[in-house]
Structure 1
Amino acid sequence: MDRRKFMKNLCGSSVMMTILPAANSFAQSMNTGLFGNKDHMKDLRFFSNPLLGNTTKVSVSPDKVQSESYNTFTFTIVLGEDGLAKGESIGIVSGSNIDRWQFSWPDQMWGCQCPWQTERSQDDNYITARCSNSDAELELKVGELGGFKPYCNERAHLVRSLKDRLRYVLEIKAGSELRPGDVITVTWGDKREGSEGVKAPITAMKYYFMPFRFSLLPALDSKTPVRRGGFDMLPSITVAAKSAVRLYVTAQPFVQAGKDIEVKISALDEYFSLDENFSGDIKLTVEGENETITRSLKMSAADKGSISTKLKINKTGWFKAKASSKNINGYSNYIIAGEEEPENKVYFGDMHCHTLDCDATVPREHHFEYARSAAGLDFISVSCHASHLGSKQAWDNLLDKTELYHEPGSFVTFAGYEWAGDGHCNAYFVNTGDAELFYNPALEQEAELDDPKFRTPVPIPGTREKKPGKPYFVKGVIDFLEAVNKLNVPAFVIGHCHTRYQFADDNVMWLFEMHTTHQVSDQEKRFQQFVGAAGKYFGVCGGSDNHRLPAGSMMPNPGEKWPNPFVPDICYNTAGLQATFANNLTRESLYEGMKARHCYGTNGCRMVISFNCGGAMMGDKTEIGPGQKPRFSIKVGGTAPLKDIVLWKYSSEDRDWIEAEKFTDIGSDRWEAELEDEKFSSDAIYYLRAVQADGGTGWSSPIWAAKKA
């Protein structure tokens, strides 16, 4: 079906309108229930912002509902000293339609795609409006979607969309002059004629709504509250999770027997949102071949859906923790207890996600809180797009939140961002105060638009003309990496599916992101190409690149569950994870682990991988003496039965990748092996790929084995 026709069928028409009579009087309307109880406004929380005009305020009620529940919401607009002139309009853009791309799944959006409609009073999302002024006339209109990326990448893409009545913006137009103090009450999900109301999105988080006057829309997005980090001036609705259907359990994979380890437990609903209201007794069992440990725990509503406990495993071996409560349970990743304190431990994180004040719909706080409390991650970076972060206020706010959530030893945060020019890549900083935000070179001509300044243009030594008068920056990635390097601060870069790796300086770009939620290419083939023939010294990681889901989200294959009717060729996968070996959980230690390429990536599963060659571990370069062969010690602990494991090899003689060893139909969820490459005769590169029966996959960083003369 044609996309425009699809949306017309979904919303009723591309532009919908109705003219509604005013109530006879404000007093009568309150008595007859059109505005609720006469004291209803004293309990409302009102918000004002510069786009509403002098002293005009807006509130929404209720402001907290449950995922997938049907509700009726009331927007109460109290006009300020300017009133509302005849023909002037107030708009409201839904919390699901203010990101840059509008790529989404219907169940994740208010109203299951189109948030409101005015024509069918018995259908979902029916919206009406009334005014306390008995002489007032109001007209409601609902805009069109406007396509996948309306005015994409323009500095005014949001403002232009709203001015053109796109993004399903709700327009409330005055058919007559409204006075200061007049109250407009918008009933969203009006049930009086049989509508079920409005269905809340599935994802539990806070959704902001931006009200504004069309006449006060600025020239640039950077002047709007959502691009300035001004969320405290916007009404919002918090969607709470449904009741938990699983317990998610995490633990440090490599531990010393006899020492305390921490086990984290979170209660998640069917969409992997954190059930903050969960309460109940929990039985924790840690079981291995030679030892079983049990612990009785209790989670209360005060714990907000997650708890942790410490315990000792006294014997060596492989263990898993199981948490059970009533009829729900969950298992941890494998825990491998050894006799000695491990020199390096494995920490899981997500270094790639995007926020509402940039080009996504997830508030920055929700990324941090979900990653820490629901996903049990150890480290994170909220990495906004440098080109689309709206203002210095938003950038400073992001840096402040990065510091606020940083707790060394418990939860580590990095300041970072995604840079886009001739390819994309992400920059990160150990010290938040060192973070330098560089311009996308294609937008360098707009550098003067930032007020106040907060981005630094990357100097471009040479350009060529792609079109007359339009410079084409052929060395964008090279210049960006050079600019990061010249800062002379502890900083590094991670590449992903849009990176032009052929230009990458691997002294600055350390890791190759093998998997993200919106994979658009065969990353493993690209990885083999650049690490093999091109000789790049890249380690491996995974990440989420989430725009619609929080960092570390465990939602499995959302693109299969909710195919996007507008962009059917984009496949949304389960978000990836990064695992980094480090001495301890600090920024400095994780930085050193990533610099050494002591990392692996997964496509979301919390797989445990140990891949060593003699005294070298994944990410290392080692020498193989005369007459010797590389000997590998491998351990893989899956979260499901393992399907196959491949030891990939690139030989400097053959200049091609081959499966040096392949093991299939493993059946068990754990695997150990000692392997020797008897055909080793020249310098070679090796890495491990492990695949589970459920599709869960992990990729180690390579080991570079040089033949010693």
Structure 2
Amino acid sequence: MQEKNKKYGNLEVNVSDKIQVDGEIEFTLTYTVGSLGLAKGGSLKIIFPPYRHQETREYVQVIDYWRPGFAWAVCSEEDIKLNLEVKKVQTAFSHIKNWPDSSRILKISTSKPLKEGQKIIVSYGGVDKPWVNGASPSTRVGILSTKRRNTYLKYYVYVDIEGNKNYIPLEGFPPIQILPKSAKKVIINAPSIVKSNEEFEIKISFRDRYNNPIFDKQLDNKSLLIKNLHDGSIISAVEKSSPFSFKANIKKEGPYEIFSQDNDLKVEKAVLFCSNSLPKIFWGDPHAHSNLTPNIRDNDPGVEPSDCYDYAKNVEYLDFIALIEQTFEFDENDLVNITSETWRKMGELADHYYDSEVFATFTGFELHDRRGDTVVLFKDSLKNIPYPLNKIKRIQDVWETFKNRNFLTIPHLHRYSGGTIEKDDQDTKYGGFNFDNWKQDNPEVERLVEVFSSGWGRFEHNSHSMLLKARSNVEGNTVVDFLNKRKIWGFTASSDDHDGRPGYGGVTGVFARKCTREEIFSGLHERKSIATTHPRIILLFKINSYFLGNVVYFSKSFEEKREIEITALAPKTIKQVEIIKNGEIISSKNYSTSQYLEAKYEDSEPIKENTYYYVRLLQDDGHIAWASPIWFLKK
């Protein structure tokens, strides 16, 4: 290393080694020319790390010192001028090229040759600029600090000695650890259904104001209490088993909440039913990504698959996860597609982190084709599924290629959403939404639809704003539109995470006997699912003897009246419960008094055409839960 520094030059960086999220960053980088000198046109290149996959911010700019991210450079010889420019990272994706985030390469080139020992001094951030002190806005790091093994910003510096674009890496820029802020809340997690006298585990997670996990704070077991929501009785027999885990059991059946008496922090409570008859509910994220996806890798804040699995299991305390990667087709073009090597890694990692009856891991892919985007989720290990080289370009190819496998296809309806500022390659390539692309169907494997994604918003119906990345969906491309066209779909919700935080947003609850791949896949296949925007809201929905996800067939008409029963238990006060029939609200009741309710509704009108019902619940904080539909279909 010393010999290399002697030839190519030495790097010294003055920068804080630890910065809190949203904290100020500034650094001074001094490059001392080595024995090879630096030719006219020679340059330094600094690659700035992204703070998240899409931040929509300038990381570095050289035009205006009144804006954050300003960088400037001078030479130790005053008569040698340096030229600064900002370049974009390489990517095959036009939407990344359009982001200001992709302008992350600072190039400093010299107008004259530099000799050994002469210096280039680069300054970045801070409030002081050349000849102007304290007059500029500060430059700040991002708001994410999510990894148990610590979150770092890693800068990379290169030198081009001859000006021929032969860049040599330089060591010396230390990684910067990004720390969470102080704890603002404690999140409590517990199984949704437990049996009486059955020991179960309660898990807690401390978070800062940006929801970053804090791993060095603990909770006293005396402050954790369980309350029966029927009679108000309190259970305090909670035993601490690890810094973030407690053991408990409940003798009496009924609805319960688990809360903390820690008055210094906001508490997000857990709720559960103690019941010897209800099926278990397992919570997971069926749609998240890692940096094995090419488009994430090109603007990667460090989203390693191992960190995704760890966050899902040990921060969000999910029961299952589907870590899938995006592709247009399957070939060895690693700039845009899933290659055979990526396929192998995906499968090996999912198998490595699978812990039967504790943490179920699935993998698959998200296909971009002309009808939109579709999550493809496999039940079995990828080691048993051959790589589909050059076999898939359309969703119909997926159905044909894997027809002898256990898999699900789950439409993700964001692709042709309205209100987005920029259209990406797929939007323009396929010319927008066209229902003709949906006429071919495969109801045996396409049994679910994503009703909510934290990456995009709510896909339910255009009478509701999507709110997040887009403001609406195009006409015809909503969940209700497709249900009205006899798509027999249950509901999922997901994070669609690109930043190593599976489960941070939308989650799906699945009714299943055990936390295994086989049982959870079976529950998804049977549409026994609840979708929520994040809270683990327990929503039980049945019509007569039919449970959510069921299909009831009839010949000419269904004359029997429908007794609709709803049981709900939510971590916060339930504001409203609505019953939707064929896309229209037939019952809407305001509550705002309790976290627990039992409701009934009778529909006696004979059914003569295809009909579906589903239930939507709103908490008083705006979070939503959906119970998968029940269908009454003509044979």
Which TM bucket (shorter chain)? 0.7 to 0.9
Aligned partner of residue 236 in structure 2, secondary structure = strand
What residue in structure 2 maps to residue 678 of structure 1? 604
Structure 2: unaligned runs, 5 residues or longer: 329-335, 416-436, 463-477
- Once the two structures are superposed, residues 78-131 of structure 1 have per-residue CA deviations (whole angstroms, 9 ceiling, x without a partner) of 8899775431333233222895xxx435xxxxxxx3223457779754545578
1:54-93 aligned within 5 A: 62-73=16-27, 84-93=38-47
* Structure 2 CA distance for aligned equivalents of residues 77 and 83 of structure 1: 12
Q: CA 1:698–1:326 in 2, change beyond 3 Å: closer, same or farther?
A: closer
Aligned residue identity for 2:60: W
Aligned partner of residue 547 in structure 1, secondary structure = coil
What residue in structure 2 maps to residue 253 of structure 1? 192
Q: CA 1:677–1:197 in 2, change beyond 3 Å: closer, same or farther?
A: closer
What residue in structure 1 maps to residue 295 of structure 2? 359
1:141 lines up with 2:84 in the alignment: yes
Q: CA 1:663–1:121 in 2, change beyond 3 Å: closer, same or farther?
A: closer
1:546 lines up with 2:514 in the alignment: no
Q: Is the 8 A contact 1:93 1:167 kept in 2?
A: no
What residue in structure 2 maps to residue 384 of structure 1? 325
* Structure 2 CA distance for aligned equivalents of residues 96 and 591 of structure 1: 35
Of 393, 396, 400, 1:482 maps to 400
* Structure 1 CA distance for aligned equivalents of residues 438 and 176 of structure 2: 42
* Structure 2 CA distance for aligned equivalents of residues 535 and 144 of structure 1: 50
- Once the two structures are superposed, residues 521-563 of structure 1 have per-residue CA deviations (whole angstroms, 9 ceiling, x without a partner) of 753463223223x22221111112233572222xxxxxxxxxx
1:696 lines up with 2:623 in the alignment: yes
Q: Is the 8 A contact 2:20 2:180 kept in 1?
A: yes
Aligned partner of residue 359 in structure 1, secondary structure = helix
* Structure 2 CA distance for aligned equivalents of residues 374 and 165 of structure 1: 27
CA drift at 1:203:
1.7
1:116-515 aligned within 5 A: 116-118=60-62, 125-128=69-72, 139=82, 141-143=84-86, 153=93, 167-177=103-113, 186-189=122-125, 194=133, 198-205=139-146, 206=151, 207-211=153-157, 236-281=175-220, 283-288=223-228, 289-290=230-231, 291-295=233-237, 307-325=244-262, 327-340=264-277, 342=278, 344-356=279-291, 358-360=294-296, 361-362=300-301, 363-364=303-304, 365-387=306-328, 388=336, 396-422=344-370, 423-434=372-383, 456-458=389-391, 476-483=394-401, 485-486=402-403, 488-498=404-414, 501-515=438-452
Aligned residue identity for 1:328: L
CA drift at 1:212:
5.1
* Structure 2 CA distance for aligned equivalents of residues 81 and 419 of structure 1: 52
Q: Is the 8 A contact 1:118 1:140 kept in 2?
A: no
* Structure 2 CA distance for aligned equivalents of residues 116 and 377 of structure 1: 37
- Once the two structures are superposed, residues 594-622 of structure 1 have per-residue CA deviations (whole angstroms, 9 ceiling, x without a partner) of 11111121222321111123443211224
Q: CA 1:459–1:519 in 2, change beyond 3 Å: closer, same or farther?
A: closer
* Structure 2 CA distance for aligned equivalents of residues 217 and 429 of structure 1: 44
Normalized per residue, which structure has more helix?
1
Q: Is the 8 A contact 1:161 1:167 kept in 2?
A: no
- Once the two structures are superposed, residues 475-519 of structure 1 have per-residue CA deviations (whole angstroms, 9 ceiling, x without a partner) of x33233333x33x23222211114765444222222100011243
Q: Is the 8 A contact 1:90 1:172 kept in 2?
A: yes
Aligned residue pair count: 562
Aligned residue identity for 2:289: H
Aligned partner of residue 671 in structure 1, secondary structure = strand
1:570-649 aligned within 5 A: 575-622=505-552, 628-649=560-581
* Structure 2 CA distance for aligned equivalents of residues 295 and 354 of structure 1: 40
Aligned partner of residue 589 in structure 1, secondary structure = helix
Q: Is the 8 A contact 1:188 1:197 kept in 2?
A: no
Q: CA 1:354–1:79 in 2, change beyond 3 Å: closer, same or farther?
A: farther
Q: CA 1:263–1:530 in 2, change beyond 3 Å: closer, same or farther?
A: same
Q: Is the 8 A contact 1:371 1:377 kept in 2?
A: yes
Q: Is the 8 A contact 2:8 2:159 kept in 1?
A: no
Aligned residue identity for 2:624: T
Q: CA 1:701–1:626 in 2, change beyond 3 Å: closer, same or farther?
A: closer
Aligned partner of residue 648 in structure 1, secondary structure = strand
CA drift at 1:183:
8.2
Aligned residue identity for 2:573: P
CA drift at 1:377:
1.9
Aligned partner of residue 352 in structure 1, secondary structure = strand
* Structure 1 CA distance for aligned equivalents of residues 315 and 49 of structure 2: 23
* Structure 2 CA distance for aligned equivalents of residues 252 and 381 of structure 1: 20
Aligned residue identity for 2:286: M
Q: Is the 8 A contact 1:281 1:296 kept in 2?
A: no
Q: CA 1:130–1:412 in 2, change beyond 3 Å: closer, same or farther?
A: farther
What residue in structure 1 maps to residue 55 of structure 2? 104
- Once the two structures are superposed, residues 190-240 of structure 1 have per-residue CA deviations (whole angstroms, 9 ceiling, x without a partner) of 57764586422112243444545688989xxxxxx9xxxxxx999754422
* Structure 1 CA distance for aligned equivalents of residues 400 and 8 of structure 2: 48
CA drift at 1:319:
0.2
CA drift at 1:396:
4.6
* Structure 2 CA distance for aligned equivalents of residues 233 and 699 of structure 1: 52
Deviates more, 1:78-87 or 1:361-370: 78-87
* Structure 2 CA distance for aligned equivalents of residues 238 and 400 of structure 1: 30
Q: Is the 8 A contact 1:402 1:415 kept in 2?
A: yes
Aligned residue identity for 2:283: F
CA drift at 1:255:
1.5
What residue in structure 2 maps to residue 568 of structure 1? none
Q: CA 1:126–1:256 in 2, change beyond 3 Å: closer, same or farther?
A: same
Aligned partner of residue 204 in structure 1, secondary structure = coil
Q: CA 1:62–1:403 in 2, change beyond 3 Å: closer, same or farther?
A: farther
Aligned partner of residue 262 in structure 1, secondary structure = strand
1:115 lines up with 2:59 in the alignment: yes
Q: CA 1:169–1:668 in 2, change beyond 3 Å: closer, same or farther?
A: same
CA drift at 1:266:
0.3
CA drift at 1:69:
1.9
- Once the two structures are superposed, residues 441-499 of structure 1 have per-residue CA deviations (whole angstroms, 9 ceiling, x without a partner) of xxxxxxxxxxxxx7722357xxxxxxxxxxxxxxx33233333x33x232222111147
CA drift at 1:577:
1.7
Q: CA 1:56–1:366 in 2, change beyond 3 Å: closer, same or farther?
A: farther
Aligned partner of residue 521 in structure 2, secondary structure = helix
Aligned residue identity for 1:143: V
Q: Is the 8 A contact 1:136 1:174 kept in 2?
A: no
- Once the two structures are superposed, residues 362-413 of structure 1 have per-residue CA deviations (whole angstroms, 9 ceiling, x without a partner) of 5134433333233222222232222435766655544444344332333222
What residue in structure 2 maps to residue 530 of structure 1? 482
What residue in structure 1 maps to residue 456 of structure 2? 519
